[in-house]
Amino acid sequence: MVTTEEQRTVLVTGANRGVGLEFVTQYAAMGWTVIAGCRDNKKAQELSDLAASNSKIAVETLDVTNARHVGALAGKYADTAIDVVINNAGQYGDLDRQSWGSLDPVLFHEIMDVNVLGPMKVCEAFTPHLCRGQDKKIVSITSFLGSIASVSKPPSTPFYAASKAALNMAIRGIGKRLENQGIAVIVFMPGLVETRMLRQTFGLPLEEAETAENFDYRDLPTITATQSVSGMIPLIDGLSLETSGRFLNYDGNEIPW
Ligand X SMILES: NC(=O)c1ccc[n+]([C@@H]2O[C@H](COP(=O)([O-])OP(=O)(O)OC[C@H]3O[C@@H](n4cnc5c(N)ncnc54)[C@H](OP(=O)(O)O)[C@@H]3O)[C@@H](O)[C@H]2O)c1
Confirm or reject binding of residue 197 to ligand X (CB under 6 A).
Answer: yes
Helices (H), ranges, the chain: 18-29, 45-52, 67-76, 105-112, 118-132, 158-178, 196-200, 206-209, 225-238
Interaction of residue 141 with ligand X, rule CB under 6 A: yes
Q: How far is the CB of 242 from ligand X (least distance, A)?
A: 26
In the window 17-76, what residues touch ligand X (CB under 6 A)?
17-20, 39-40, 43, 62-65
**Residue among 9, 10, 11, 14 that touches ligand X (CB under 6 A):** 14
**195: contact with ligand X by CB under 6 A:** yes
Angle, CA 142 vertex, CA 71 and CA 81 arms, to 5°: 40
**Residue 13 within binding range of ligand X, rule CB under 6 A:** yes
Among 80, 177, 178, which residue's Cα sits nearest to residue 133? 80
Question: Who's near 144: CB < 8 A, 6+ residues apart?
Answer: 150, 189, 249, 255
Residues 34 and 56 sit within 8 Å (Cβ to Cβ): yes
Nearer to ligand X, 141 or 255 (CB): 141
Residue window 85-104: x/- pattern of binding to ligand X, with contact defined by CB under 6 A: ---xxxx-------------
Query: According to the binding rule CB under 6 A, does residue 196 interact with ligand X?
Result: yes
CA angle 42, 46, 52 (to 5 degrees): 95
Quote the least distance from Cβ 29 to ligand X, whole Å. 18
Q: How far apart are CA 179 and CA 129, in angstroms?
A: 15
Site for ligand X contains 192 (CB under 6 A): yes
Judged by CB under 6 A, does residue 16 bind ligand X? yes
Q: Does 216 bind ligand X (CB under 6 A)?
A: no
| Of 133, 175, 190, 231, the one binding ligand X by CB under 6 A | 190
Name 78's bridge partners: none
Least Cβ distance, residue 75 to ligand X (angstroms): 18
For residues 133 and 129, give the distance between their C-alpha atoms in angstroms, rounded to a whole number.
6
The answer to whether 197 touches 92, Cβ cutoff 8 Å, is: yes
How far apart are CB 225 and ligand X at their closest, in Å? 7
Q: By CB under 6 A, how many residues form the interface with ligand X?
A: 30
**8 A C-beta contact, residue 85 and residue 36:** no
CB of 26 to ligand X, least distance (A): 14
From 30, 26, 25, select the one nearest 7 (Cα to Cα).
30
Rounded-to-integer distance, Cα 209 and Cα 200, Å: 6
Our CB check for ligand X shows the closer of 81 and 200 to be 200
Report in angstroms how near the CB of residue 201 gets to ligand X at its nearest: 7
248 lies in the site for ligand X, by CB under 6 A:
no
Binding site for ligand X (CB under 6 A): 13-14, 16-20, 39-40, 43, 62-65, 88-91, 114, 118, 141, 143, 189-190, 192-193, 195-198
